[in-house]
């Protein structure tokens, strides 16, 4: 495991770039903690930090317009307009008082409340990036290698299920 294992770097157009761990996310102000996701989505479990809270903790600059969600583990990247998800983005980091397991997309997973089905909208299920190790706020749209069509999307799921 690299030194970065279990760390989430948040940087880009922010006043206070920082690296988060399970412990430091758990220590974020309670008004930014979203507890028991099952209340919000029956298929989800665990606890999260709200995107609005994350924006406040790292003091995002007003010129930041996109959130870049980067997963080095499987080289998956999404760049999403902040205004589309400001009020409904979540960073899931805990289940049953332990770090979110890798099999659930942990240790850090992005999740958008009321996301659309894959390939139907920019804010879709594909944007629920698993294994996020770097979040970068940008002024312009950043790197995004989400599938472009249903064939690419199918291929991604094939790859996932074969490990
Ligand atoms: N890092 C990463 N995140 C990802 C993907 C991926 O391949 N890699 N696939 C996306 C797609 S297309 C879907 S449908 C969901 C699947 O999430 P699940 O494995 O929890 O069902 O994760 C999204 N996030
Ligand atoms: Mo998907």
Instruction: Give me ligand 1 centre to Cα 118, in Å.
Output: 10
Q: Which residues line ligand 1 (CB under 6 A)?
A: 71, 74, 76, 105, 118, 125-126, 128-131, 153, 156, 160
- Ligand found nearest the CA of 118: 2
CATH topology for 8-162 is: Sulfite Oxidase; Chain A, domain 2 (3.90.420)
Q: pLDDT tens for residues 103-150?
A: 999 999 999 999 887 776 778 899 999 999 999 999 999 999 999 999
Residue 3: band (very low, low, confident or very high) from pLDDT cuts 50, 70, 90:
low
Instruction: Give me ligand 2 centre to Cα 120, in Å.
Output: 11
The β-bridge partners of 81 are: 66
- Residues 50, 44: Cα–Cα separation, whole Å: 15
- Residues 54, 32: Cα–Cα separation, whole Å: 8
Q: Is a pLDDT exceeding 80 seen at residue 163?
A: no
Which residue is closest in CA terms to ligand 1's atom 13? 126
Q: pLDDT tens for residues 14-59?
A: 999 999 999 999 999 999 999 999 999 998 999 999 999 999 999 9
Per-residue pLDDT at 160: 85
List the chain domain ranges. Answer: 8-162
């Amino acid at each position: 495991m690299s030194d970065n294992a279990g760390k989430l770097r948040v940087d880009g157009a922010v006043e206070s770039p920082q690296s988060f761990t399970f412990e430091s996310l758990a220590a974020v102000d309670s008004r930014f903690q979203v507890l028991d996701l099952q209340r919000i989505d029956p298929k989800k479990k665990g606890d999260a930090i709200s995107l609005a809270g994350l924006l406040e903790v790292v003091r995002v600059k007003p010129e930041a317009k996109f959130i870049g969600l980067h997963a080095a583990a499987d080289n998956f990247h999404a760049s999403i307009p902040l205004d589309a998800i400001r009020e409904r983005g979540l960073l899931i980091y805990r289940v049953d008082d332990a770090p979110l397991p890798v099999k659930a997309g942990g240790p850090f997973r992005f999740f958008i409340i009321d996301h659309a089905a894959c390939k139907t909208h920019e804010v879709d299920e594909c944007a629920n990036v698993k294994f996020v190790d770097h979040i970068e706020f940008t002024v312009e749209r950043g790197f995004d290698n989400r599938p472009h069509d249903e064939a690419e999307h199918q291929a991604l799921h094939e790859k996932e299920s074969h490990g």
